[in-house]
Chain A
Amino acid sequence: MSGTPEDPGAPEVPGTPGTSEAPTAPGAPATPGRPRRARRTRPVHPVRRVRRLRPGAWVTVLVFGFFFVNLAGVVGVPLVDSFGTRWFTSWLPEGWTTKWYGSAWREFSLGQVFWTTALVSVLVVAVSLAIGVPAAYALARRDFPGKRIVMLLFLLPILVPPITYGIPLATVLYKFQLAGTLTGVVLANLVPSAPFVVLTMTPFIEQIDPRIEAAARMCGARTASVLLRIIAPLLLPGILAASVLVLVRTVGMFELTFLTAGPDSQTLIVALYYAVFSAGIRTQQSIDAMAVMYTLSMLVLLVIALRFVNPTQLVTRVKEDRTAG
């Protein structure tokens, strides 16, 4: 890595062939240019680190800034309100108290709500893993006629918004007297979760060398023991990632739970909606306290989730390098 100072006219182009005769940079070919340029130029031109912001950068900073300031406001208002005594038109409440948390806990019987939420989420995670991981394995390893249709079947529940298929689904669940029960809530939440596990797991499975399985089969292992003793241990990171993501999605899933839950099978987010929607008799602060409790539990889950997964994975499958996450 010879630190030839390039001409300052083209600082954006990393490793322009015109400036250096070296045919290939020592880095991996897939590495994007930016880190390489930073590493090379930093010792030579320490001044260039102070970059003037270009118009594009200004747009970025503005969009981000606007977004985050408003987001902070949106999250901050319930947070401040839940700790305040009385807050009408001033910037901040008149005094500070924590009594709303206790009253929210009693008023909305949050103990039971939290228990339901945990139960529903754990059941959904367990069942969707049991259904999704084998399906993901088959989809990742086999090419068969009609694969596109099966893929479509597994993609649609993720792409179609829950409220659209939730209404017919809830109708069917009512018909079989499953709606309003915990079973109904779990079944409804499984519809997007099981395909989501498939989507998350497929890249993880594709990474495993099929020759390992071939070797196990050569040694006489049957499909079941290949899955349990060869694939499952190798897939453990993927299974963790998928289960944390499904957990986050289930706790945050409003529409399906809302459509199928009965009075004693509400999860936290649905209980929160009913508290907000039928407000009036209740104090705003205890609703906010409940909202803050919801945000906190969500935040804890999120921080755990981001330890295992790449954020782009929350919406799509892994495309970035493993090292980037």
Chain B
Amino acid sequence: MTRVREHPPPPGAAPRASASRARPALRHRLAERGVDRTLLLLAPGAVFLVLLFCYPFLYGLQLSFQPQRGGGALANYRAFFGDPYLRETVWITLGLAVPVALVNCLAAVPVAFRTRGPFRGRRLITTLLVMPITLGTVLTAQGLLGYLGPGGWLNKTLLATGITDTPLELVHNYWGVFASLVITGFPFSYLLTLSYLTGIDPGLEQAAATLGASKRQRFRHVTLPLLAPGLAVTFCLSFVLAFAVFPSAQLVGDPRGETHVISIEAYQAAFQKFDYSLGSAIAMVMAAVMTAVVLVVLAWRSMLYRGATGGKG
């Protein structure tokens, strides 16, 4: 955590440095600011990412302004926003991603709050929680189809206990995708919230307790304000994850209707109709919508207290 700045003395540099010169060598002035040969170690990674992350993104951006069917630079965007079936995908995706991110964040807070201290079986619980992250969306979708389907175990249980008379329709619609996103997303937001929560110094809460704050007051006035910036980040990340939903919308959803999400349209345009230009344009719209939501949340976050949490974070 404590970053000690130490610079390797270049061979033969010591006598020159001791000489009182008005302007030391450029190399020394750079080294003073932290620029030296060690930074070359960054080069492979940075070059790689520029080539395979930044360049494709910019390439896609300029490709999106060169429609394959002609019609001016903005023809792709006009086609996307002019067609209600395509335009609607933005709202459908937002209608999935925002509730999912909210549910994941709100459910994660009490659970992380109760499980932050060490207790027996914590390792087991965290292992079980990490499992869905690694299951991936395809397997989750496959399991959900069997489990939530009309003849699945859940509907059987509901029918047997008399909670419902007719089987609930939970797959091949909105709720199937919702469930899939919660299963893959909740562990993620739980672990993230947990790591923020453990970064808050427990001494602050104890101090509030000695001043007579009740358990609820301590949560409301001490922990929550310190946790809120972290929660904003958690919300952003779970939103972004849910917004890019792709396989589960295809497999457990209704990809032509209720869960016709934007990533399906982007994929189909690029790799089924081979209109890379339109595909890139939709991917850019997707990135823009995500950025807009994230910026709104981060703007709200900047109004929150962001000082030291007193902990290790």
Contact = CB atoms under 8 A, between A and B. Distances in A.
Interface of A: 10, 12-18, 30, 32-35, 56-57, 59-60, 63-64, 67-68, 70-71, 73-78, 81, 88-89, 91, 130-132, 134-135, 137-145, 147, 150, 153-154, 156-157, 159-165, 167-172, 174, 187-188, 190-191, 194-195, 198, 206, 210-211, 213-214, 217, 223, 248, 252, 254-255, 258-259, 269, 272-273, 276-277, 287-288, 291, 294-295, 298-299, 301-303, 306, 311-312, 314-316, 319-321, 324
B75 interface: no
A206 B33 contact: no
Interface in B110-133: 110-111, 113-118, 123, 125-133
A301 B192 contact: no
A162 B244 contact: yes
Given A210-B6, A306-B127, A77 B38 contact: no
A194 B117 contact: no
A150 B5 contact: no
Contact of A73 (B110, B131, B154, B237): B154
A312 B57 contact: no
Contacts of A198: 45
Interface string B242-259: 011011001100000000
A167 B140 contact: no
Given A71-B132, A324-B118, A138 B39 contact: yes
Interface stretch (B12-20, B66-74, B221-229, B283-291): B283-291
Interface stretch (B76-84, B141-149, B300-308): B141-149
A259 B53 contact: no
Given A135-B41, A145-B35, A168-B63, 20 more contacts: A12-B209, A18-B210, A30-B312, A32-B117, A32-B118, A35-B117, A75-B131, A77-B152, A142-B35, A143-B34, A150-B46, A161-B243, A171-B276, A172-B59, A206-B3, A223-B8, A223-B37, A291-B142, A299-B134, A306-B130
Interface residues of B, number: 109
Interface in B58-111: 59-61, 63, 107, 110-111
B115 A60 contact: yes
B24 interface: no
A162 to B, nearest CB: 7
A91 B153 contact: yes
Contacts of A162: 244
Contacts of A187: 52
Contacts of A259: 267, 271
B212 to A, nearest CB: 10
Contact of A172 (B1, B4, B50, B56): B56
Given A33-B202, A33-B206, A74-B144, A169 B287 contact: no
Contacts of B181: none
A170 B271 contact: yes
B264 to A, nearest CB: 10
Q: Which of A35, A164, A210 has the most CB of B within 10 A?
A: A164
Nearest to A89: B151
A169 B52 contact: yes
B48 A34 contact: no
A138 B3 CA distance: 12
B195 interface: yes
Contacts of B196: 319
A142 B39 contact: yes
Contacts of B125: 64
Contacts of B44: 130-131, 134-135
25 contacts: A12-B215, A13-B209, A14-B206, A63-B110, A73-B152, A75-B135, A77-B147, A78-B146, A88-B151, A91-B156, A135-B44, A138-B39, A150-B42, A150-B46, A161-B244, A163-B246, A168-B283, A172-B55, A172-B59, A187-B52, A254-B137, A254-B138, A298-B135, A306-B126, A311-B129
B198 A319 contact: yes
Contact of A70 (B110, B111, B138, B183): B183
Contacts of A34: 117-118
Contacts of B4: 210-211
Contact of B313 (A164, A287, A319): A319
B110 A60 contact: yes
Contact of A276 (B6, B142, B191, B276): B142
A288 B145 CA distance: 11
A291 B139 CA distance: 6
Given A12-B209, A134-B44, A144 B39 contact: yes
A153 B53 CA distance: 9
B280 A167 contact: yes
B253 to A, nearest CB: 12
Nearest to A132: B45
Contacts of A295: 135, 139
Contacts of A255: 244, 246-247
A130 B43 CA distance: 12
Given A77-B146, A161-B244, A171-B280, A138 B117 contact: no
B178 interface: no
B153 A143 contact: no
A171 B139 contact: no
B297 interface: no
B3 A143 contact: yes
Contacts of B137: 254
Contacts of B107: 63
A12 B216 CA distance: 12
A276 B199 contact: no
Contacts of B111: 59-60, 63-64
Contact of B127 (A130, A135, A171, A302): A302
B134 A141 contact: no
